[in-house]
Amino acid sequence: MSIDILMPALSPTMTEGKLARWLVKEGDDIKSGKVLCEIETDKATMEVEAVDEGTLLKILVPEGSEGVAVNSVIAALGKPGERYEAISNPVTPAKAGAQTLEVTQPPKILDPGFHRDDGLNVQPVMMREGRIAASPVAKRIAQERGVNLYAVIGTGPNGRIVKEDVESALVQTDRTVAPAKADITPTKLPSPAQAVPAAQTGPNAKQLADLLGQKYTEVKNSPVRKIIAKRLTESKQTVPHFYLTVDCELDALLAARKALNEKENAKISVNDTIIKAVALALREVPAANAAWTEEAILKYNDVDVSVAVATPDGLVTPIIKQADTKTLVKISSEMKDLAARARDNKLKPTEFQGGGFTISNLGMFGINHFAAIINPPQGCILAVGAGEKRAVVKDDKLAIGTVMSITLSVDHRVVDGAVGAEFTAAFKKLIEAPEGWLK
């Protein structure tokens, strides 16, 4: 009786792959460990070795075949001289696949950074070996919903895959189509479910580093770091970003700020003026002060501006509420207080939850241009670069001007290109003509 050779799963997300090349032919004597074929996915190419011994009776999937489903029969092994007969009642896929195939060649991961070809015995990191320990309910759900159990990490007794593991694997897959939730609160009492790490894509750095013998120091992820990772991954993966960049001349603004600081004996920063300008521009273009939900676009009534502040734990975004109604002196003092308390981790949730629009300013670090990741559920984030002297053309002559580049990252579901441009134009106009409002 012949033994089926099944299409293996090479990665967590793999449901099908390309059978690139057969390295053996029908009638060949197969010894355990012999490389049978090469399989390609969008991520990697891998050699597949035989575990069982025998004669290759039949190749069922010709080389070059694309879209070969995981666990489908690709070939059959048997005794010399035996004739291949299709088995009408195929064996349990997962089990048989594991028994007849074992991938022991190094994964040829396409990213050159992880490539190695020195023949060391590297296992594909997410691949399991042997029989899968999974509860019956977990197996049933996996079957119903097409989850590859080889890719699921079990959290049950002795690493057994339980229902919850399959369900969270499904959630991770579904997340790409799920709407961003307006849940910014770092929950005070994290439940185990929330402790699930942000969706892991690509090779696990630690497992790889350990395999390759790279040295490193582990810095435990703080709860804040985990939330940043989760939310930014979610944002970048699920929010359709586009970017609008404009240059703003700062000379008039710098002069007006200096005058105001002298008059008020204050220390209003350029960043404070940017907060106010953003707030006024949002008044003019309220469509940019908005968030996406599946049912409706939420246009916020108040102009609440979140400002990204770097802290030792990571990024927080305290809010200047109703910034459009506040004086610069007021914005400046509030910002100083919020930033100081943010660094000390003493903000109240209400001081960083909410907000309709975020400013991220890296000008003080000499960055002249960057694009920020949207802070969900908000629709826009403004990345502010450094004000620097650049050659500008004034009245058809070359001149020196202080110029700042800003880039608006926009959620295209909420704000279209023209509306985004309207906002950047309004902002630019305010920055370049501060007389009316910078006071």
Partner 1 sequence: MTAFDLIIIGGGPGGYVAAIRAAQLGKNVALVEAKHLGGICLNWGCIPTKALLKSSELYYTLQKLDQYGLEAKSTAFDLTKIVKRSRDVAGQLVTGIKHLMKKNKVTVFDGFAKLAGGGKVSIDLNDKSKTEISAPHIILATGARPRVLPGIEPDEKLIWTSKEAMIPETMPKSLLVIGSGAIGIEFASFYRSLGAEVTVVEIMDRVLPVEDEEISVMARKAFEKQGMKIMTGAKVAKLEKSANNVTATIEAGGKTETQTFDRVISAVGITANTENIGLESTRVQVERGHIVTNPWCETHEPGVYAIGDVTAPPWLAHKASHEGIICVEKIFGVPGVHPLDTKKIPGCTYCHPQVASIGLTEAKAKEAGRAVKVGKFPFIGNGKAIALGEPEGLIKTIFDATTGELLGAHMIGTEVTELIQSYAVAKTGELVEKDLMHTVFPHPTLSEMLHESVLAAYGKAIHY
Residues noted as catalytic: 412
8 A C-beta contact, residue 53 and residue 104: no
Q: Shortest distance, CB of residue 125 to partner 1, whole angstroms?
A: 21
Q: According to the binding rule CB under 8 A, does residue 33 interact with partner 1?
A: no
Binding mask 241-280 for partner 1 (x = CB under 8 A): ----------------------------------------
Our CB check for partner 1 shows the closer of 105 and 135 to be 135
If we measure between CA atoms, which residue out of 346, 271, 259, 350 comes closest to residue 304?
350
Provide the minimum distance between the beta carbon of 136 and partner 1 in the complex, in angstroms, as a whole number: 4
CA angle 167, 172, 173 (to 5 degrees): 95
Distance between CA atoms of residues 299 and 286, nearest Å: 7
Which residue number, 188 or 220, has a Cβ lying nearer to partner 1? 188
Question: Helical H runs in 243-356?
Answer: 251-264, 270-284, 328-343, 349-352
> CA distances (Å), 271 to each of 79, 299, 366, 427, in order?
78, 25, 14, 13
Q: How many residues bind partner 1 (CB under 8 A)?
A: 17
Contact indicator for 363, 387 with CB cutoff of 8 Å: yes
Nearer of residues 346 and 397 to partner 1, judged by Cβ: 346
CB of 167 to partner 1, least distance (A): 11
* Structure token pair of residue 64: 């070059």
Q: Look up residue 69 and give its two tokens.
A: 């489903």
Largest interatomic CA distance in the chain: 100
Part in contact with partner 1 (CB under 8 A); list of ranges 154-162, 237-245, 283-291, 331-339: 154-162
CA nearest neighbour of 411 among 287, 269, 285, 316: 287
Residue 375 three-state SS: coil
Using CB under 8 A as the binding rule, whether residue 89 contacts partner 1 is answered as no
Specify the residue, 80 or 136, whose C-beta has the smaller distance to partner 1.
136
Handedness of CA 351, 352, 355, 359 (dihedral sign): positive
Of the candidate residues 67, 81, 113, 157, the single one contacting partner 1 (CB under 8 A): 157
Considering only 27, 33, 90, 190, the residue that binds partner 1 (CB under 8 A) is: 190
Structure token pair of residue 55: 């004669």
Check residue 349 for interaction with partner 1 (CB under 8 A): no
189/219 with CB nearer partner 1: 189
Nearest distance from residue 411's CB to partner 1, in Å? 31
Among 62, 81, 130, 188, binds partner 1 (CB under 8 A): 188
Residues paired with 18 in a beta bridge: 40
Q: Residue 312 interacts with partner 1 (CB under 8 A)?
A: no
Pairing mode, strands 3-6 and 73-78: antiparallel
What angle do the packed helices 417-432 and 270-284 form, to 10 degrees? 130
Residue 197 in contact with partner 1, rule: CB under 8 A: no
Three-class SS state of 248: strand
| Binder among 62, 112, 192, 213 for partner 1 (CB under 8 A) | 192
Q: Which positions from 118 through 147 interact with partner 1, judged by CB under 8 A?
A: 135-138, 140-141, 144
Q: Nearest distance from residue 183's CB to partner 1, in Å?
A: 17
Least spacing, CB of residue 134 vs partner 1, in Å: 9
Residue 67 near partner 1 by CB under 8 A:
no
Q: Which is nearer to partner 1, 137 or 340 (CB)?
A: 137
Residue 208 phi, psi (nearest 5): -70, -45
Binding site for partner 1 (CB under 8 A): 135-138, 140-141, 144, 155-157, 162-163, 188-192
